[in-house]
A and B are shown apart, each in its own frame.
Chain A
Amino acid sequence: MSPRPEATRIVITGFGSVGSEGCGEQPMRRMFQQPPVLRELDLSSGYHRADSARSAVLVQAESLSEHLAARQARRMSPPSRFAVVAARLAWQQAGLEVGVGGDQTSVVTSTSYGPSSFTESLLRQILLDSPSQASPFLFTEAVANAPAAQIALLLKAQGANITLTQREAGPLLALAKGAAEIRAGRAERVVVAAVEEANPLLHAVLDRFGVLAGSRDSEETARPFDLRRRGFHLGEGALAMVLETEQAALDRGASPFGVVGPWIGAFDSTATRAGYGRGAERLAERLRQGLQRSGLSADDFDLVVSGASGGRDSDRLEARVLRSIWPRHEPDMLPPVFVPKAHTGDHGAGILAGIALGLMGGEACATPGFSESDPALGVIPFAGGRLNKPNRMLVSCLAIGGSAAWLVLESPNL
């Protein structure tokens, strides 16, 4: 198939969510109507220190059983289970039949850490028992692309199958990649998913880096953009979307939720391997240039979906970059800045769930954890109430390690 014209509109026709409140649209909406539901992790492995954070925003395993047969679940790592359920729900919402994806269906997933519990189990076998004890099953499901492969098996999706691992920027890059696959004529539709698993080892490691709310005996409350922010909550779950051309969606009677617009990628080379940098000006310049090239300006946006999650440095950088787009606006004159990770914990599916709620419109409570604005940031997050469907939203994700991505999403009616 030949490339489609650049102007071809790529739309989102289905969402599927797996999160702390359960699977599907209503549980996802509930997640945004309340503070994050923190659950204590299993600390019995002894990875955590006495002054560690102890909780995360976790998926309840039993919530998956309605959507995934036990015999299937047994053959999957936790992130594969999350991803398969989310993809199935997204596919069904898009009005497509499961199992008939074919060679015109591609899959693009994003994960930061991959199947971490299976990796841990495998390391235990190899390092603490004997290399000969390594389980072939654990090994094949410990690869980062296992969730993408399981989605492909579910849907019989024989197009490209790509897993991106660009930390917090990954979900937006995956959406951009999915749209590019369709635009290039390589796929009729693409399932884009972000998936993450929060297991005790990963939690303990992040805690030792001191990035979690609750690390080093700090208050275990994530406070995005707040003066007293100290860190984020680790979260887990999956969010899948179905992308296709607007024409294809309309031809089969599907209702698009939103249009995937231009994306911008950047890197802050002042960032450390495990932190954020000081390169706000350079990131902002890349963002401004990118928007300008797409003929967009600050006035074109009526919603910002921010990847902020409560980190001291990350939220400062995020605020400085966002403020550069609206340099002369008072904080309360910015478009609403919706912070999904304040509800979902920090993981890729959280930001995609925020996009989903933004495009569908709905109620959200005031940004959890935020009570006192930081004058150095100049950003006041969403105060709660009705999140109206925007004409155009800007989504911003800055990643540990230096990468950054921004994506524009538009109303189908624009």
Chain B
Amino acid sequence: MAPAMSDTKYEKVAVSGLGAVSAWGWSVDDLWRGLKGGRAAIGEPEQFDITGQRTRLASEVPDCLSDSPWARMTAWRRWSRTDRFAVVAAAEAWNSAGLGQSAGDCGDASAPVVGVFFGGSTAAMWEAETFFSRLTSREPGQQPRIASLASHPLSSPGDAVARHLDVSGPVESVSSACASGALAIGSALDALRHGWVDVAIAGGADSLCRLTYAGFNALRAVDAEPCSPFRKQRAGLSLGEGAGVLVLERESDLQARGGKALGWVLGAGASCDAHHMTAPHPQGVGAARAIRSALNDAGLGADSVDFVNAHGTGTPLNDSAEWKALEAVFGERASRIPVTSTKGLLGHFLGSSGAVEAVATVLCLHHGLIHVTPGRGEIDDALGVDLVVDEMRALSGEPVAVSTSFAFGGSNGAVVLTGRGQA
């Protein structure tokens, strides 16, 4: 469905570059191949010992860059695992946007101002755990390396991206748990609309670590099997890791430099349940408000939406609340809107999930195909969701999608995207 004419005064914002790191590999091509393949990349993680945990599964990024030019960089050895995901995805996005070698403007007042807007929730927690183990160890020779904590602050992945691409504009790191990536895209959209930046590198990165793995186990929020979003037998999420990055520009700027749009970010919205620290509002009231806010920001009505890339964690409460939210926003049409969950394939990337799911959504819009949501058992008929299973669904025209992200603390984010389906 073609988007209705926007009644906001803002210029359209184009997606000119994409980057991704996931369990399928360190590129967008890997991501799209995996999405098309439709097989979940969730297995036993090798990174750390999972003895005694409720689940033995995660979606882990393969260490396959050891022979690449990346691994020969001095910075590579210094970066945390999350920093590496962030920088590789951002570099891919930057290169695919065709904006040159780096963002460095060397003080040239006429050069575009580039900003970084990055979400995440773990940063270098994995490395900090090793530091802490050594710090508290009574074993001889277990000296902690303080340098390993230099990437610990949550601003580190965004800073690493800015440093690598020689950015001179604003850098903003968002850490609102699992909504961080979506909120970072919203911040980037604001910055472009208000002219604070000319090019925005928006995204997020997170890596697996023992703290989140044990924490979600303690909450009994993980499924012992690969997660099954919106299924009757769903029993929790699967953890994942990786990064997603979008390069965003105002449409007129992109056209002026002869660039090509891969899609467009039409709007973003946010809300808070103000209900409970971990449980979503059972009626999805806050989630619905975030979706409505994003549609309002895009100048679109609910009837414009062609598919939803749901937060879809696979936890009983989250999926149920999300369905209530979709019903509240889309009314009786909710059960006819195709819904997919990237988490069914790659698990939950936590703070970066909104970013990588936005990348996945742009790819679906661009290729005119909605990826499937694997899982075990039947779709929960109490939810009424038109879940995309078994085979991809075709999109045509200029379809519109909503990507949703809901977090601990009741923070919700939603992003409205469009593209030119090629199916």
Interface positions of A (Cβ within 8 A of B):
1-3, 6, 47, 101, 103, 106-107, 112-114, 119-120, 122-128, 130-132, 134-136, 139-146, 148-150, 152-153, 155-167, 169-170, 173, 177, 180, 184, 186, 205, 208-209, 264-269, 271-274, 281-282, 285-286, 289, 399-403, 405
Segment at the interface with A among B252-260, B304-312, B403-411: B403-411
- What are 6 residue pairs bridging A and B, where the CB atoms are less than 8 Å apart in the complex? A134-B215, A145-B411, A149-B410, A152-B409, A160-B411, A169-B171
Task: Check A267–B169 contact: CB distance below 8 A.
Answer: yes
Most buried by A among B129, B220, B278: B278
User: A122 contacts B155, CB within 8 Å?
Assistant: no
The contact of A161 among B151, B167, B216, B411, by CB within 8 Å, is B411
| Contact A265–B169 (Cβ < 8 Å) | yes
Q: Are B155 and A136 in contact, with the CB atoms below 8 A?
A: no
Query: B289 touches which one: A47, A103, A135, A269 (CB < 8 A)?
Result: A103
Q: Is the CB of A269 within 8 A of B211?
A: no
Closest to A264 in B: B170
Least CB distance, A46 to chain B, in whole angstroms = 8
B271→A164 contact, CB < 8 A: no
Report the separation of the CA atoms of residues A165 and B122 in the bound assembly, to the nearest whole angstrom.
12
- The interface centre, meaning the residue of A119, A126, A131 with most chain B CB atoms within 10 A of its CB, is A131
Please classify the interface of chain A as helix (H, G, I), strand (E, B), loop, or mixed, using the class held by over half of its residues.
mixed
Bits for B260-274, please: 1 = Cβ < 8 Å to A, else 0: 000000000111111
Partner of B171, one of A127, A157, A160, A265: A265
Chain B residues whose C-beta falls within 8 Å of the C-beta of A399 in the assembled complex? 155
- Chain A residue at minimum C-beta to C-beta distance from B195: A293
* B246 part of interface (Cβ distance < 8 Å): no
Task: Please report the C-alpha to C-alpha distance between residue A269 and residue B103 in the assembled complex, in whole angstroms.
Answer: 10
B177: chain A residues at CB < 8 Å are 143-145
B90: shortest Cβ distance to chain A, in Å? Answer: 13
Report yes or no: B215 in contact with A152, Cβ–Cβ below 8 A: no
Q: Does B181 belong to the interface (CB within 8 Å)? A: no
In the complex, B422 has a CB within 8 A of chain A: no
B219 x A136 contact (CB < 8 A): yes
Instruction: Indicate the member of B177, B219, B277 with the most A CB atoms within 10 Å.
Output: B277
> Size class of B's contact patch?
35 or more
Given known contacts A134-B218, A157-B274, A145 and B168 CB-to-CB distance under 8 angstroms: no
* Interface presence of B82 (CB below 8 A): no
**Which of B170, B277, B409 has its CB near the most chain A CB atoms (within 10 A)?**
B409
Q: Encode B82-112 as 1/0 by CB contact (under 8 A) with A.
A: 0000000000000000000000101101000
Nearest 9 interchain pairs by C-beta: A265-B170, A149-B409, A139-B215, A160-B270, A161-B272, A165-B154, A131-B214, A273-B150, A274-B150
Are A148 and B162 neighbours in the complex by a CB distance under 8 Å? no
What B residues does A144 contact at CB under 8 A? 121, 154, 175-177
Which chain B residue lies CB-closest to A268? B168
Stretch at the interface among B130-138, B230-238, B356-364, B373-381: B130-138
Tell me whether A167 and B155 are in contact (CB under 8 A). Answer: yes
Contacts known (A205-B146, A403-B162); A162 close to B190, Cβ less than 8 A: no
